[in-house]
Structure 1
Amino acid sequence: MYATPIMDPFKRTLAQKHRLYMKICRDCGARNASSATKCRKCRSKNL
C-alpha cells in the first residue's frame, strides 16, 4: 500500500508545517516545535 497524495492545499501546508519545520536540539537530538525556545527533553537553549 502507498499513501495517496494530499490534494487539498490547506491540508498540504498544514502537514508540511508539522512534518518538515521543526527545531532539533544540538545536545540531545530531540525534535521540538518550530516556535520552541528551549528543548522539551533536556531544557537546553541550544536549538
Structure 2
Amino acid sequence: MQVLLNYIDTDNEYEISQFLNSLEDEYLKESWKFATAKIKEIYKL
C-alpha cells in the first residue's frame, strides 16, 4: 500500500514498476495493476 501512496505523492512510476516486477503471483500482479490504474484515474496521474 505504501508503494501506491508514494506513487500518488510523486507521480513517479519507477517504484511501482519495480514492485509489480517483483511479484511472482500473476493474480496478485493483475490485482495491483488494476489498483494502480484506478489510482491513475482517480488522481489524474
Normalised-by-shorter TM-score class: 0.3 to 0.5
Give the structure, 1 or 2, with the largest relative contact order (CA under 8 Å, sep 6 or more). 2
Higher helix share: 2
- Give the TM-score taking structure 1 as reference length: 0.37
Higher strand share: 1
- Give the TM-score taking structure 2 as reference length: 0.38
Rg bigger for which structure?
A: 1
